[in-house]
């Protein structure tokens, strides 16, 4: 056992590699690193066509599952597209929740009832940054 993992330069924000997390109501979760996140947003027009509510200060948002699966059609070259499609297809509700892990935004400007739904989706998750063995 080696404990040679360097301290995170972003305390409180989990692994520096995690940039965007997508979860469903069940807590199923797909995390993308900065490269994958940028690429996904690039290929899906920033997920705008699927967004039903978004934080004005960061990339966190609520997306509609059906529209999300639709925009993924334009991102079939993305290496995580199968995971993302599966997440959407298995989602128990009509919404998926996207969190911008790279931002330290406190979402104070996000005044929308869907923000509460979004916050709930992430409140039930185990602490970010716990590494699987
Ligand atoms: Zn925000």
Query: How much distance in Å is there from the Cα of 104 to the middle of ligand 1?
Result: 8
| 62, 95 contact by CB (below 8 A) | yes
Q: How far is the CA of 70 from the centre of ligand 1 (A)?
A: 25
Distance 102 CA to ligand 1 centre (A): 10
- Using DSSP's 3-state secondary structure scheme, residue 64 falls into strand
Choose among 29, 35, 9, 31: nearest CA to 20: 31
Phi-psi region at 102: left, alpha or beta (left = phi > 0; alpha = psi -120 to 50): alpha
Of 60, 50, 46, which is closest to residue 97 (Cα–Cα)?
A: 60
* pLDDT in 10s for each residue of the chain, 133 residues: 554 555 444 444 445 578 999 999 999 999 999 999 999 999 999 999 999 999 999 999 999 999 999 999 999 999 999 999 999 999 999 999 999 999 999 999 999 999 999 999 998 655 555 555 5
Paired tokens of 72: 């993924």
**Global pTM value:** 0.81
Question: What separation in Å is there between the alpha carbon of 7 and the centre of ligand 1?
Answer: 25
């Amino acid at each position: 056992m080696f404990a040679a993992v360097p301290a995170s330069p972003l305390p409180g924000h989990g692994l520096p590699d995690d940039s965007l997390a997508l979860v469903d109501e069940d807590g199923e979760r797909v995390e993308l690193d900065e490269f994958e996140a940028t690429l996904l947003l690039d290929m899906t027009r920033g997920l705008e066509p699927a967004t039903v509510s978004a934080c004005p200060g960061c990339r966190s948002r609520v997306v509609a599952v059906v529209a999300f699966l639709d925009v993924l059609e334009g991102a079939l070259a993305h290496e995580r597209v199968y995971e993302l499609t599966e997440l959407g297809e298995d989602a128990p509700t009509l919404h998926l929740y996207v969190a911008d892990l790279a931002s330290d935004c406190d979402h104070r400007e996000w005044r929308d009832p869907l923000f509460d739904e979004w916050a709930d989706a992430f409140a039930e998750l185990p602490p970010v940054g716990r590494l699987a063995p």
